[in-house]
Every structure is written in structure tokens, then in C-alpha cells.
């Protein structure tokens, strides 16, 4: 199925690496102009430099801390719309996943996770929706949730709670905004083979734990960032125009249950 975003403007947060980078690149490959937002200025600059050669006049971006919402969100939306001449899709992807057991968790750590993973998502969505309503435009928002939204994880309870909040935020915004011509959906990645994941496998213990995690995935492998991008582009497109408020898990079947039989 071919999906064209020619003439469309797409804003992607957390776009300089990992899943966000894969999403942004796939939009570019399908004809969109893309406005990248990332906290890391060096990574962002490198990514933009590489892509501007491949996609002339299609790549824009800004360094921003989305924990500083709503002021940052409103400014970013104005910059993105001005740079691309249009703004049709928002992908909320920026997030953090610190590992911390709850007895050791500090309030500042809790706030940092929710400020970015939930508050940042909401105010970016609100700023984009206000832009669309003001100018009589329709649009699509895709939030990146997580398989953790459906499965609690020791050492990542706050992260899981934040992603569960993203799922309910997605449903609520979808209900409020669909009759304004704004669709809101989410994609929940499972275990995805990003650069950050590969870099974390730096000890025998980490490698053994990773192998055990894969054994519990029905598809018996990790996912690829491009597979998350596939789902995002579909939900953002007119092909999904009757899909509203859904959270699509892309996790090799992990949220279906667990595989215990080695003969499968």
C-alpha cells in the first residue's frame, strides 16, 4: 500500500535518534516536509545535515526542551508552520525511560518523567490543535505510547504509568477533537532494536536478560524502528481516516500474552 505525504508538513518530536528518527525519515521518503524537534543539539544538527543533502528544502528543525510546556509547544508549532508553509501531522515521540525502583524514587525524578512523557505530549497536541482550529484545518496526531502501558515493569513503574496516561490522553483528545476534523491515535512499541538498546547490551548480564526478553515475544525477535514508522505513517494517513482514539501495539505479540512452549 502506497502512502503519499507530498505537500504535507509533519512535526516529529524526539526526532534525532532511534524511533523518532526512523519515523521522520520515512515521512521524508514519502514526500513530506518534516520539522524535527530534539533536546540534543549535536544529534539534531548531524541528522539535519545528513538529510538536507538527500531531501533538499524538506528538512527543518529546532532544539527544544519539551518539559517547558506550554510556552515551548506554542513557539515550536508557530516555527514549524512558518518553515514548512503547512502543518498537517504531529508525532509526539520525545520521552525518557529512566530505570529506578519505587522505594528509591525522588519527586524530581517522577516530575521529570511526567513533565516530558505526558505533559509535553498534551501541550504539543493542544498547540497543534489550536493552530488547526484557528485556521480551519484538519490534521492527525500520533502519540508514541509503549507496551509498558499494558504491562507493569519493576524498575520502570513511573515510565509505565506515564505511558498508560498517554493511552488515555489519546482516547480523550480523540473524543474531544474528532468533530473538529482532528484525529488522534497512538502506537505502542514493544522491544525495538534502537541504537540505545544495542549500546545497553554491554555486559554478559545485560545480554542474558535481553535474550530472555526475546524468548517471551511470540514473534521471537526484537522489532525494527522502521516497523514503528510504518504504523505511524498509516495512522497519520487518510488510509486510517475512520480510525480514531486507538492505541496500536507493534510488539511482536508481546501484549497478547507469554510464550512458554519452546516447540512453538
**E strand or H helix that includes residue 12:** strand 9-13
Q: Which residue has the cell 508557530?
A: 78
Split at pLDDT 50, 70, 90, the class of 116 is: very high
In whole angstroms, what is the distance from residue 180 CA to residue 137 CA? 9
Q: CB count, 10 Å around CB of 172?
A: 13
Split at pLDDT 50, 70, 90, the class of 68 is: confident
Helix runs in the chain, H state only:
18-29, 41-54, 71-84, 107-114, 121-134, 157-177, 195-200, 204-215, 225-236
Q: What is the mean pLDDT of residues 217-230?
A: 96
Q: Which residue has the cell 521524508?
A: 28
Q: CB count, 10 Å around CB of 166?
A: 24
Domains of the chain: 9-193+224-256 (3.40.50.720)
Q: Is the pLDDT of residue 1 over 80?
A: no
pLDDT of res. 260: 59
CA 14 and chain centroid, separation: 7
159 assigned to active site? yes
Q: 121, 131, 159, 254: which is the annotated catalytic residue?
A: 159
Helix-helix angle 18-29:225-236, to 10 degrees: 50
**E strand or H helix that includes residue 38:** strand 33-38
Q: pLDDT of 11-35, one tens digit each?
A: 999 999 999 999 999 999 999 999 9
Amino acid at each position: 500500500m502506497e502512502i503519499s505525504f507530498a505537500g504535507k508538513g509533519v512535526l516529529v518530536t524526539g526526532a534525532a535518534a532511534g524511533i523518532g528518527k526512523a519515523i521522520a525519515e520515512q515521512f521524508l521518503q514519502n514526500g513530506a516536509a518534516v520539522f524535527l524537534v530534539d533536546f540534543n543539539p549535536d544529534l539534531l544538527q548531524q541528522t539535519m545535515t545528513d538529510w538536507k543533502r538527500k531531501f533538499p528544502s524538506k528538512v527543518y528543525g529546532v532544539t527544544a526542551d519539551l518539559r517547558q510546556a506550554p510556552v515551548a509547544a506554542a513557539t515550536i508549532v508557530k516555527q514549524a508552520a512558518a518553515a514548512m508553509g503547512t502543518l498537517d501531522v504531529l508525532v509526539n515521540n520525545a520521552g525518557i525511560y529512566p530505570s529506578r525502583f519505587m522505594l528509591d524514587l525522588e519527586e524530581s525524578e517522577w516530575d521529570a518523567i511526567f513533565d516530558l512523557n505526558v505533559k509535553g505530549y498534551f501541550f504539543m497536541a493542544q498547540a497543534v490543535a489550536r493552530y488547526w482550529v484557528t485556521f480551519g484545518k484538519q490534521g492527525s496526531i500520533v502519540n508514541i505510547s509503549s507496551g509498558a502501558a499494558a504491562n507493569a515493569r519493576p524498575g520502570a513503574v513511573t515510565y509505565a504509568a506515564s505511558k498508560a496516561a498517554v493511552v488515555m490522553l489519546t482516547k480523550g483528545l480523540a473524543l474531544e477533537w474528532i468533530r473538529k476534523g482532528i484525529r488522534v491515535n497512538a502506537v505502542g512499541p514493544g522491544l525495538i532494536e534502537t541504537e540505545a538498546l544495542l549500546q545497553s547490551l554491554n555486559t554478559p548480564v545485560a545480554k542474558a536478560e535481553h535474550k530472555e526478553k526475546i524468548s517471551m515475544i511470540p514473534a521471537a525477535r526484537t522489532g525494527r524502528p522502521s516497523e514503528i514508522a510504518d504504523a505511524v505513517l498509516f495512522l497519520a494517513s487518510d488510509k486510517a481516516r475512520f480510525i480514531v482514539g486507538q492505541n496500536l501495539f507493534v510488539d511482536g505479540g508481546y501484549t497478547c500474552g507469554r510464550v512458554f512452549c519452546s516447540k512453538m
